[in-house]
Amino acid sequence: MDNPLRQFVAERRTAKLSTAAPDSIAEIESRFRFENWVSSAAKRAAGQNVASHIGPLSHPNAKIAPFVAEPSPSPDGYVRSGNVKVPWDSFGDASSLDSLAFMKIKLSDQRTVLDHLRDGSNEIRQLFDFANDELYELLRGQFLQVFVNSKPYPVTCPEIKQVYFPLPDGHYHLLSLVSSSGLLKENRLRLQELEWGDAAKAARTLEKEDKKANASGEPPSSTEMPIDACYQIFPGRGSMKLGGANAQNISSFNAECKGVWPLFASYREKPEEYQRLPGADYFRNLRWDSYSHCIFSKLHKIFREPGPGNFELRENRKQWLEELWLWASSFALELQARPGGWSGDKGNRLPIHQKLWLDDGNRQLAADDKGWRVEVASDFAGWVLANYRKINSGGLDAVPLGVFEKTEFRNEVAEMPFSGEEWRVWVR
């Protein structure tokens, strides 16, 4: 049968020979003879350490001993080590990276050379066809040195989050929370697929073609869009970079990811009674995010366009104002779902028209008199103008907006939905 290990070494020998000087060919041929190269790689394997958890991925300054964790899979619904099949990470000398690549070769059962060496399988023994049993065990032992930690770091350090568990008789457990680099890498790969995979690229291309078609008055092409053509965006995402100019200093996964790892906002879930309620004005309580900034940016581009009487521009502006209203009123829908009466608390100073809008306890009063809708729409229009000025403060291209725009925005929003039921049947 074909020997993938010999094929791996042969490919490296061919690559070396393609750029070799004539006087070095004999030395390369000898160095890349299969038995010679494997013996050398086995000796250099100790320069790499295999690990599932590496400290600097949890904190850049964490000096803790890396380790291999192999928990059993369980149908508990958690994204954790053991439940997601990921390869081991590694760190160590750059001179032994070829030895690491050799150990990552996948064999007929899709398990790596390192897995087979660890189990001592018959298949890996046959692939080391040049070695007798004694030499094979020697080479196997040298390759398995990757599991021996070469850095005598402590098992924890102040930079790592720690959880204290008291025990009887004054004893305790100290649990250090360390991130799995395999899970981090798998998360990064899935994000890339959702944003820039083949299906995502097809969707982005169709979206671009539709925009061109709309601009020229032609029918959109998305009627024939493949069912899997879609992409996702993840607003509010950040990233961290580890390893500086040499990402390999952290780990092999860090080098593969060029040292850049995605970060997401993590908010502690609060009980309902601690949910922040608007005290004096609903709109002042809103906090911008990347999507609201995006909407204001779109509106800013429209405001700067010449020809305010252009019908297409006005419709485009109305669509983005509707989108901003939907964003701004999304928390209002949550407040409307709360048990009624909360706005009657002694410390609540909301104006009466906002109480009619937000508090389900005032539903009958709100149904009897719709005048509050115009007042809420006026509050929103004022908030839009104030935040537009704030976002573009100091900008030379900011467009001055005044009473005319505020009145127009108020009148448009007053006709839009103000509750979940209205949004569900809303047709623009």
Long-range contacts from 198-204, C-beta under 8 angstroms, 24+ separation: 199/226, 199/228, 199/229, 199/230, 199/231, 200/230, 200/231, 200/232, 201/231, 202/226, 202/229, 203/229, 203/230, 203/231, 204/231
d(CA 139, CA 133): 10
Note the pLDDT of residue 277.
74
Note the pLDDT of residue 223.
53
- Is 25 domain-assigned? yes
d(CA 8, CA 199): 33
Nearest to 388 by CA among 404, 400, 379: 400
| Whether 279 and 259 share a structural domain | no
| Whether 217 and 348 share a structural domain | no
| Whether 358 and 307 share a structural domain | yes
Q: Cα 75 to chain center, whole Å?
A: 24
3-state secondary structure of 92: strand
- Is 198 domain-assigned? yes
- Is 76 domain-assigned? no
3-state secondary structure of 427: coil
Domain stop point among 237, 263, 289:
263
Q: How far is CA 116 from CA 72, 104, 120, in A?
A: 19, 10, 6
CA atoms within 13 A on the CB side of 342: 20
pLDDT single digits (tens) 155-188 = 778 888 888 888 998 898 888 888 888 899 998 9
- Is 154 domain-assigned? no
Residues of the chain predicted below pLDDT 50: 270-275
Note the pLDDT of residue 20.
86
- Is 332 domain-assigned? yes
pLDDT single digits (tens) 388-422 = 887 776 555 667 777 888 888 888 888 888 888 88
Q: How many residues does the chain have?
A: 428
Domain stop point among 263, 294, 310:
263
| Whether 222 and 117 share a structural domain | no
Domain stop point among 245, 263, 281:
263
Crossing angle for the helix pair 403-413 and 311-328, nearest 10 degrees?
70
Note the pLDDT of residue 34.
92
Q: Report the domain count for the chain.
A: 3
| Whether 139 and 25 share a structural domain | yes
| Whether 313 and 280 share a structural domain | yes
d(CA 303, CA 314): 10
**For the CA atoms of the chain, what is the radius of gyration?**
31
| Whether 286 and 350 share a structural domain | yes
Range of the domain at 239: 181-263
| Whether 221 and 324 share a structural domain | no
- Contact between 183 and 86 under an 8 Å Cβ cutoff? The reply is yes
Annotate 140-199 with DSSP letters as a single string. Answer: HHHHGGGGS--S---S--TTS-EEEEE-GGG-EEEEE---BHHHHHHHHHHHHHHHHSHH
| Whether 372 and 278 share a structural domain | yes
| Whether 229 and 350 share a structural domain | no
Note the pLDDT of residue 307.
59
